[in-house]
Structure 1
C-alpha cells in the first residue's frame, strides 16, 4: 500500500467521535470486546473442562496432558494468524477477514456447547483456531489504518483499543466461568457463542459509517497466475499432509508428544522464515529492511514475556484450583474468577499508561526500553508467586492475595510491552507485508505457548519453587540485556519512535 493510498484511506475515516479518536475506534473497540469476551470466557473454563472427571461434567483427561493441550491450543490460535494475515494481504482485505473470522469463532463455540465427547472438542478447537487467525491480527491492523502515520494519538489509541480487549476478558470469567463451573460447562460455552454473535452484529452495523475505506483494500493482491499456482500447491500440500497424518498415526509415529514437539519447532521456524522473506523481498525498501532488523530483538523479547504471561491460564489456573484457599467467609469462589485479575488491572491501569506516554512526549522511553521493562516485571511476577510456597510448603493452601499480586505485576509489564508492541508493529512493518507483520507479532505469543507446552510438563508441587525461580531469573537477565543494547536497536529503527 503506497503512502498516498494510505492517506486517502484514513481521510475517509471520521477523525473525531470516540474519546477524541477516530470513530472507527468505536467499531473496532466493541468488535474486539465481544470477541475477547467469547474467547476468554471459553478459556476460563476450558482447562478445568479438560481435566475434571466425567462425573463432574469434564472430559477426564490427565492434568499434565490438559496443560500441554491448553498451551498448544493457544499456540495454534496465534500461529494461524500468519494464514489470516496472508489471506487479508493477498486475497480479501482486513475487513472481510475480521468478519469471516468471527463467524468461524462463533461456530467453534457452538460446537463446544453441544454435549459430546473428545471429537466434538477437537472440532471446536479447529474452528476457533482458524477463526481467530483471521480476526485477531487483522482487526489490529485496521486500528493502524484509521490513523495517519504522523498522528501522535496512535499509541494512545492502541492503549484504548487494548483496554476494550481486556474489558471483555474481565467480564467473561465472571459470567461464563460462573455458569460453566457451577451449572454446566456446555451452557458456559453457549454464552461465549452469543458473545461472538453480538460482536459480529456490532461490526456489520457500524463498519461502513465508521471505518470508511480502512481495511477494504488488498495491499498485495495475487495475480491471476499466482492464484492458479497457489491453488495447485494448496491441493498438493493438503493431500500430502492428509496422507502423512494417516500414515504416521497408524504407525504410532504421530503421538501427542511428537505433535507438541513439532509445533514447538514450527513456532521457531515460521517467524525465522518470515523475517528472511520480508528482509529479502524486492518490495521491501532499504529503510524497511532496517526496521525489520530492529524488530527481531523486540520479537524475541515478546516471546519471553508471553511465555510467562500466558501461564496465567495454565500453571497459575491450576495453582488457583489446587494450591489456593478459595474460601472467603462462607462462600467459595470459583478458580475461574482469577482469570479476570489480569484484565481487571489492565482496565484500571491502561488509561494511566496511555496518559503517561502522551504526557512524557519527547521524554518517552524508547520502544526497546519499554520492552525491557515489560520483561523485567514478568520475571518479578514469577519470583513473587514462589514466596508463599517456599514458606508454607507444597501441601498448604496459600492466600489468594499472592496470586492476585503476581497477576498485578505481570500486568505492569504487559502495559509496557503489548500495546506498545502493537503500535510499533504498524510503524515498523514493510508496506507490502502490513497484515502479515501484525500476524508475526501475534506469532511471538504462538512461539511462547509452543515452548510452554514443553515447559509446563516440569511443573509439580515438588518442583514449584525451582520452576518459578528459574523462569523468573531468566526473564530478568534478558530484560537487562535488552536495556543495554537498546541504543543499537534504536539506530536500526531510523525515523520510528
Structure 2
C-alpha cells in the first residue's frame, strides 16, 4: 500500500478535471433550467401555457420526477461497471437527455411532458454517476487533493445551475410572457425547455471533441476490464465491506438533508411566489430566478471552502473528518429553515388574504445557510464515495449514493404538498428541527463511521 509520502499529489489539478467541469456545467444547466420552471408550468392554467394542476398533484409529479431521476443511476452505474466505459455511458446519457428536453418543447402537453421526463430519467442514469466517478479516476485513491477537486467540480455544477434559471425564467416569465385583451397571462414555458435541450447538446459536443485530448484512455474501458488488467482482487475484502457499509449508513443520513434541501423547487418556490416581496427598484423579480441564488452562493463560496479544506489537510491539526463535515451540513440546513419561520409568522400562510409580504432577505439568507450546508455535505460526499468505493462497484455505489437523493425527493414532495393543509410555518419548523437533530446524531457517531471509511486490509 502507498504511504502518504509516496502517494502522487501534484501541485495542480489535471486538465481533465476542467473538461468534466464544463461537461457537468452544461448538464446541470439543462437540468436546473427545466426544474426552475417545472412547478410553475405544472400549476399554471392550461390557457396560460401550463398544465393546470393543483398544488398537491403538481408536487407529486415534481417529486416523482426529481426522485426517480436519482434511482436510475444505480442501473446505469451497474451497466457501466460491467459492460461499457465511463465515456460511452456519459455520451449515451447526454444525448438521451437532450432528446428528452426537446420532446417536452416539441409537444408542450401532458403526454409530451411524461415522455420527455422518461427520457431525462433514463439519460441521467447513465450520465450522473459516471461523470462523478470519472472525476475520482483522475486522482490516486489517497490523493489529498480529492476533496478540493470535487469542490471545484461542484462549482461547475452550480455555474450551470446559476445561469439556467435566469435564462429559463427570462424566456418563460419575461420574453414570451404576454397578457391578452381579456387580461389572461400567457407564459413561454416551452422555450425554457428548448434552452435546456440546447445546453445539453453544447455540453456533449465539448465532451466528445476534447475527451481524448484531456482524458487520454481514462474511462474508456469497463471497470471489470481494468480489474482484470491490473490484477485487482474480484472478491470483496473485509475492508471493502466495512467501507461500503459506512457509505450505505451515511446514505441514510443524507436523505434527511436532501428532503429539506429539495424544498427549493416546491414549497420554497411557491412561498416565494405568494409571500415574498420580489420588487426591487420597481422591477418584479421572476420567481424562477430565485433558483439561481443557491448556485450563485456556491460559485462564490466554493473556492473559499475548497481552500479551507486544503489548508486544514496540510495543517498539524489536520482536516475535519468527512463525517463531521457532513453533520455540519445537516445543522446548517436546519438553521436555514428556522431563519424563514419568523417571515412566515409575519405574512401568514393564506395567499388569498395577504396583508404583508416578507422582506426578500429572509429567503436569501435561507438559501445562504442551505448553500453552506450543501458545501459541507455534497461535494465531500462525492469525494468520499469515489475514494472508498471498491473498484469493481465504484459506479454502482455512486448510483446508490445518488439514490438516497431520490428517496429524499419523494419525501420532499410529500412535505411540500402538506403546506396546503398544515401551513408553511409548521412544515419549515419541522424540517429545520429534524435536520439539526439528525445532524447532531451524525456528529456523535462520526468517529466510528470514519474508522469504517478508513478501513484497509
TM-score by length of 1: 0.82
Corresponding residue for residue 317 of structure 1: 269
**Greater Cα shift, 184-193 or 484-493:** 484-493
| Structure 1 position 427, deviation (Å) | 1.5
Q: Distance in 2 between matches of 1:131 and 1:72?
A: 16
> Retained in 2: the 8 A contact 1:180–1:189?
no
> Retained in 2: the 8 A contact 1:75–1:445?
yes
Q: Distance in 1 between matches of 2:276 and 2:125?
A: 34
Corresponding residue for residue 179 of structure 2: none
| Structure 1 position 114, deviation (Å) | 1.2
| Structure 1 position 115, deviation (Å) | 4.1
2:342 to 380, 387, 409: 387
Pairwise CA RMSD? 2.0
> Retained in 1: the 8 A contact 2:248–2:401?
no
Moved over 3 A (4+): none
Matched, 1:493 2:453: yes
Corresponding residue for residue 261 of structure 1: none
> Retained in 2: the 8 A contact 1:35–1:196?
yes
| Structure 1 position 100, deviation (Å) | 0.5
Matched, 1:195 2:199: yes
Q: Distance in 2 between matches of 1:287 and 1:198?
A: 42
Corresponding residue for residue 215 of structure 2: 211
Q: Secondary structure at the match of 1:133?
A: helix
> Retained in 2: the 8 A contact 1:27–1:210?
yes
> Retained in 1: the 8 A contact 2:55–2:417?
no
1:358 to 310, 314, 322: 310
Matched, 1:60 2:52: yes
Corresponding residue for residue 399 of structure 2: 439
Q: Distance in 1 between matches of 2:397 and 2:289?
A: 34
> Retained in 2: the 8 A contact 1:301–1:371?
no
> Retained in 1: the 8 A contact 2:132–2:382?
yes
1:286 to 234, 238, 255: 238
> Retained in 2: the 8 A contact 1:29–1:165?
yes
Matched, 1:465 2:425: yes
Q: Distance in 2 between matches of 1:390 and 1:290?
A: 46
Corresponding residue for residue 77 of structure 1: 69
Matched, 1:338 2:298: no
Matched, 1:135 2:127: yes
> Retained in 1: the 8 A contact 2:108–2:190?
no
1:40-439 → structure 2 map (5 Å cutoff)? 40-182=32-174, 183=176, 184-220=188-224, 283-361=235-313, 362-394=317-349, 395=354, 396-439=356-399
> Retained in 1: the 8 A contact 2:242–2:455?
no
Q: Distance in 2 between matches of 1:181 and 1:67?
A: 20
1:351-378: CA deviation from partner (whole Å, max 9, x where unpaired): 0110000101152110111111010011
1:106-161: CA deviation from partner (whole Å, max 9, x where unpaired): 00110111143211110100010111111011000000001112322111111100
Structure 2: tracts of 5 or more residues without a match: 177-187, 226-232
> Retained in 2: the 8 A contact 1:89–1:218?
yes
Q: Secondary structure at the match of 1:114?
A: helix
Q: Distance in 2 between matches of 1:386 and 1:55?
A: 35
